[in-house]
Amino acid sequence: MRRTRLAALTAGLVCAVFFMTSCSTYQNFKEAFFEKEGQAADTIRIGVLEPQTGNDSPMGDLEIQGIELAHNLVPEIAGKKVELIYADTQSNIYAAETAVDALIEKQPAIVLGSYGDAVSLIASQKLGEKQIPAIAVTATNPLITANNSYYFRVSFTDASQGRALAEYVFSALQLKQAAVVKVRDEDTSTEMVSQFSARLEKLTDDEECIVESIELPQDVKTCEKFAERLKASGAQAIFMPVSLSYAEKMFDAADKAGINAVTFIGPKDWHSDDLIKLQQKYPQITIAVAADFTAETADGAEVETVTGSLYEEFLAAYKKAYGKDEAPEAVALGFDAYMLAVQAIEQAGDVSGTKVKDALLMTENFGGASGDISFNESGEPKKAINIDVIQEDRFVSIYTVK
């Protein structure tokens, strides 16, 4: 069943986003933009830094979809047209440097993106030097925001995922042991594994709670020998912060080894239609995944009510544009990033980077499509993390970690 949404809040929030706040008169707001060189007096520029070509372009396209859906709903701020200016990172860190420089020259009020941690780290350094605020959509590396007070994000970090998934193992699955599978020399999963292990150890008060730890070679072809180790460990929860391509190899090996009645637990990067196809292929296992965005909820599920007042408006816009009832998480997060940017500029009454940054820092309980969002002093979102499983070929939220 789809959980009840607090749609009644929509009107209030949208009005707050669309119209001027009491902190600035319209005339002062207008004059502030005249002072911004290189920007038309009747236009506010928002940069969109995303991979539009290359291997990462499918994910970049999802973030852009969300940004553009929101832009179609809110194309103006205080009577001024919002212009989206795009820069293609080409899924390449070297091209990304040029793309960021090109955006900076156009003097955007704020930048949204980019997909990919490495690219966002490059952007963070350059935008921070120019005091241009930015909001990462799905990038999770904590250094993106830690090293730049002007960079924010709407998705939770790797560390947060690790802690939340450990709580799911202990509280929801009621298990006191787990196995961990990662890819050797893959730094992106190190923090997630560390936080998962530390949190589970604290919850269980057991230094031996991780009963098996496996590092897959980067060129691994099959995982049969690793599956046998998992089977011998007796672990009923297996945490795997790996890509879906590695996960599929492990699922296949688990199937051949006769491993069943276990839960494979993955990061939010797994949350896609491709994961649903894998669950169909390997029905003997349960796959749980971290999620930014609340899906349908199972009967009796321990899931916090989503109060995002833009949720219904987002879904309606997505269905109208793409003909689908359910949207990928990255689209919802892109939508929220744009709406947060609009609210911050409007509340700042200016396009000054410092003022927009300060307005973002003051964000409390923003009712977005992906849920309520507040920012801490480091630009990290304070938001719930949902855990989803797949039932009847659909994602279903079964547990929430605050």
Alpha carbon distance 199, 158 (integer Å): 13
Residue 8 is classified by DSSP as G
Backbone dihedral region for residue 258 (phi beyond 0: left; psi -120 to 50: alpha; all else: beta):
left
What count of other Cβ atoms lies within 10 Å of the Cβ of residue 187? 9
Calpha distance 200→208 (Å, rounded) = 10
Cα dihedral 132, 136, 139, 143 sign: positive
- Considering only residues 259 and 6, tell me which one the structure prediction assigns the higher pLDDT: 259
pLDDT, one tens digit per residue, over 230-246 is: 999 999 999 999 999 99
* Domain 159-291 in this protein, CATH class: alpha beta
Interval 270-301: pLDDT, tens? 998 899 999 999 999 999 999 987 666 655 55
Overall average pLDDT of the 149-174 stretch: 95
Residue 337: per-residue pLDDT: 98
Q: What's the whole-number mean pLDDT along residues 103-127? A: 94
161 pLDDT band (50/70/90 cuts)? Answer: very high
Architecture of domain 42-156+305-383 in CATH? 3-Layer(aba) Sandwich (3.40)
Lowest average pLDDT, out of 78-87, 226-235, 236-245, 364-373, goes to 364-373
32-57 residue pLDDT tens: 444 444 455 689 999 999 999 999 99
Specify burial of residue 231 (Cβ count, 10 A radius: 0-12, 13-18, 19+).
middle
With cut-offs at 50, 70 and 90, classify the pLDDT of residue 326: confident
pTM for the full model? 0.81
Residue 153 and residue 380 in contact, taking contact as beta carbons nearer than 8 Å: yes
pLDDT surpasses 80 at 11: no
Return the pLDDT at 242.
97
Q: Where in the chain is the domain with CATH 3.40.50.2300?
A: 42-156+305-383, 159-291
> What residue spans of 35-87 are helical by DSSP H?
57-73
Confidence check: pLDDT of 155 > 60 = yes
What rounded mean pLDDT belongs to the chain? 88
